[in-house]
Amino acid sequence: MSASSPVRPVLPADIKARKGGIPIVCLTAYTTPVARIVDAHCDIALVGDSVGMVLHGLPSTLGVTLEMMILHGRAVVRGCRKAMPVIDMPFGSYEESPAQAYRNAARLMAETGAPAVKLEGGRHMAETIAFLTARGVPVMAHVGLTPQAVNTLGGYKVVGRDAEAAGVIADAEAVEAAGAFSVVLEKVPEGLAARISQQLAIPTIGIGAGVRCDGQVLVVDDMLGLFTEFRPKFVKRYGELGRAADEAIAAYAAEVRARAFPAPEHGFADTAPAKGARG
Ligand code: KIV
């Protein structure tokens, strides 16, 4: 961004200031071309660790490494002029101690240029969030369903129904008190998400948490119909790019087999064209 650029990038403090205002729009992005499109329309481009499942074919997010997040983080930062890139801390990169979390969050920020990180966990991560925020690392928290804990949660279930509600509220309050600038509420019942959103002074970003959050996030490949292995109830398909790609690739394969592609206009003549002509 040049000093004279009229485009001002969104920063963590801007997101925090959006509490209760026009809903915050967030999508994941993992590559520069998609980040450019997300940047044109969204406030936040989240480099989610969902990249492991969506782009790398992993069975869960547990196999995602810091190096993968740095590589995809750099690509997304290159594609963002206005929207704020936020990078997920992968499983195993922050849970051990606040010092471990700081070391790896600092690498994510220094090596990608992103101004913030996201990490999963509520009360048990509060000390770490406070440690990071006191040392210049803005943190987006993530409570409710935390996919990195799928093995202890027992699946990708709704979190916060009935007696579980108090725990989710305590988690959300703890990350706010620790200094998180916003919090993702994943797969939390709508009424509970609304109550938390009303109670907290920081914005809540919902995914499967109803319309009364301060913002929404989806996995971009889910909403574009590109990643079709899972279809969670909370995903609305805004496009069918997977089907369009299948049709396009099938047409290409058929034309190659029939020697209909390449056509003469896609090739090069044996003699050089006259000066000024293309080809
Ligand atoms: O990894 C991810 O994409 C996420 C969002 C779905 C919130 O954490």
CATH code (residue 152) = 3.20.20.60
Please tell me the predicted confidence (pLDDT) of residue 230. 78
180: in domain: yes
Name the catalytic one among 120, 173, 176, 186.
Answer: 186
196: tokens are 């938390």
269: in domain: no
Does the CB atom of residue 144 touch ligand 1 within 6 A?
no
22: in domain: yes
Q: φ, ψ for residue 127 (rounded to 5)?
A: -60, -40
For residue 90, give the 3-state DSSP assignment.
Answer: coil
What distance, in Å, lies between the first and last C-alpha atoms of the chain?
A: 36
Nearest ligand 1 atom, CA 46:
3
Q: From CA 204, how far away is CA 206, in angstroms rounded?
A: 6
Does the CB atom of residue 88 touch ligand 1 within 6 A?
yes
Torsion of CA 102, 106, 112, 118, to 10 degrees: 30
Burial (CB count within 10 angstroms: exposed 0-12, middle 13-18, buried 19+), residue 250: exposed
273: in domain: no
Residue 158, domain extent:
12-223
Mean pLDDT score, 45-59: 97
Residue 10 zone, left/alpha/beta (φ > 0; ψ -120 to 50; rest): beta
Is 186 marked active-site?
Answer: yes
Ligand 1 centroid to 93 CA: how many Å?
Answer: 16
Please state the pTM of the whole predicted model: 0.95
pLDDT at 2 over 60: no
230: in domain: no
188: in domain: yes
Residue of 108, 118, 205 to mutate, ligand 1, most atoms within 8 A of C-beta = 118
- Residues 144 and 159 sit within 8 Å (Cβ to Cβ): yes
Q: From CA 238, how far away is CA 253, in angstroms rounded?
A: 27
85: tokens are 């890139």
208-217 pLDDT, tens digit each: 999 999 999 9
Q: φ, ψ for residue 98 (rounded to 5)?
A: -60, -35
257: in domain: no
Please tell me the predicted confidence (pLDDT) of residue 229. 80
For residue 182, give the 3-state DSSP assignment.
Answer: strand
* Number of domains comprising the chain: 1
Confidence of residue 3 (pLDDT cuts 50, 70, 90): low
240: in domain: no
